[in-house]
Amino acid sequence: MPGTETNLWLGLLGLAPLLVYIILVFRDMDPLPATVICVLIGAVITQQSLASFGNVLQKAMGSFLAIVGLIIMLGRGLGEVLNATKVTHTIVHKIIYGIGVDSEKKAMLGIMASCFVVIGLLGTMAGGNAILAPIVLPVAAAVGLSRSTIGVIFQAVGEEALILGPFTPPVVTLLGLTKLGYGEMTLYAAGPVALVTLVCTWFMLQRIQNRTRDVNPYDKMKDVEEFKPTSQSRRATVVFGGLFVAAVVYGIIIKAATSYVIVVMLGLAVITGIVGGLGFHPVLQLIVKGMAGNVGLFFLFVLLDPFINFIEAAGGFNALATILKPMVDIGGKAAVAIAGGLIGAFGISGATVAELKMLHEMFNPMLTQFGVSMLAWAVAMIIATRVTNFIYPGANMVSSLGFAESKDMKSMIKNGVVVAAAQSAFLILYSVLFS
């Protein structure tokens, strides 16, 4: 029908902001200016006036994505407090020296555990690795781990910590979109994906270490001042750990909404800071200092709401669903999850929260129509965002390389390709069995 075809073409025009976004981020433009450009394109396509555009931005300030942006800012603030009170240093010290580092494999396990805990707690790979690097690199040098090995550990473990930490932005976003509980999502979706990733990475680490042990080593660091936990830092760590576990358990029991995370992070920062010897005012100053470093991200997340809504209002997602429907009709539920995961993995790059939101809105009509399991869809979205980071030399890969003081991008991409292949195969199998 002519009218239907016209609506389809107009809907495809509505996808223009998304297509421009993909092109810009693959050309290494920073996500914030790329998003600003695409929001303006969406506003033109949907014929927004200056007044209506202002109303859209006002509404976006109270959106779910804006809340996630605030949580990211608070995470940075909490990280400042944990760093100032030496809680993160104490945690890492206990993990590393509790295991007893006297071999390459033990050092790998200790550093992996440290990355997993710290990044999972802080919710930021760059922030976590920035804190970890000065402490674990001397350990790596002492046992002979190469720079290439540490770079791969920093990224691979960090990626999985971000999908398992209860308050990390990807987890908060995923739970909000799928309405799954944290325990259910961890046990049946994120946990299996992380297991597949870490098993593959462990075997790749042995190969990378054997190949680079002598060609990309660390200089033996002499007279390194080993961090020694004080009674105050130990006390603050115990309080932080106890409160953190209690907050997570309580949140799971009451099925707390996303807003609960804001209260928890503020409470953890204030109480841990005071127990760690900081006054109330210095704690607040550290929180503000940390949050200030992520103002750009907050602005980005505020803009993502109108970005997505403009595409939806123009009929972009409905048009894409119409085009994909014949393929999905053949494959049914499994095809929806597989298509979503692979399109996200290889077709969309950028901020993880933005990618999750885009994928969900893009496929939501088909998810409802075919009754796709939210667990299968959660696996698809997790793999979509992880594969993107593993196969493209983006911020997570490059920052991990930098913190490891390495220039061996080849090893990073080799591990990334193996992990991406394993995750994609897992997605197909999981979707067929559990969609």
> What residue segments make up the domains of the chain, in order of their start?
64-295
For residue 223, the model assigns a pLDDT of 39
Q: Where are the beta strands (DSSP E) in 213-348?
A: none
Q: Are 296 and 330 in contact (CB under 8 A)?
A: no
Which pLDDT does position 98 carry in this prediction? 67
pLDDT in the model for residue 225 = 47
**What are the residue ranges of helices labelled H in 100-190?**
104-122, 125-143, 147-162, 169-178, 182-185
**Distance from CA of residue 92 to its chain's centroid?**
21
Write down the pLDDT at residue 227: 66
User: How far apart are alpha carbons 349 and 151 in whole angstroms?
Assistant: 21
- Report the chain (435 residues): mean pLDDT per 10 consecutive residues: 61 81 75 87 90 90 80 81 84 68 81 86 75 75 86 93 86 87 90 94 94 81 59 90 83 73 88 92 92 82 83 76 66 80 69 79 81 89 87 75 81 89 92 79
262-266 contacts, C-beta under 8 A, 24 or more apart: 262/67, 262/70, 262/71, 262/74, 264/167, 265/71, 265/74, 265/75, 265/77, 265/78, 265/167, 266/74
> In angstroms, rounded to a whole number, what is the distance separating the alpha carbons of residues 372 and 117?
33
**Whole-prediction pTM value?**
0.68
Q: Give the separation between CA 218 and CA 216, rounded to whole angstroms.
A: 7
pLDDT of residue 203: 95
**What gap in Å lies between CA 102 and CA 125, rounded to an integer?**
27
Contact by Cβ (8 Å): 313, 348? no
What letter would DSSP give residue 217? B
Q: What is the pLDDT of residue 204?
A: 95
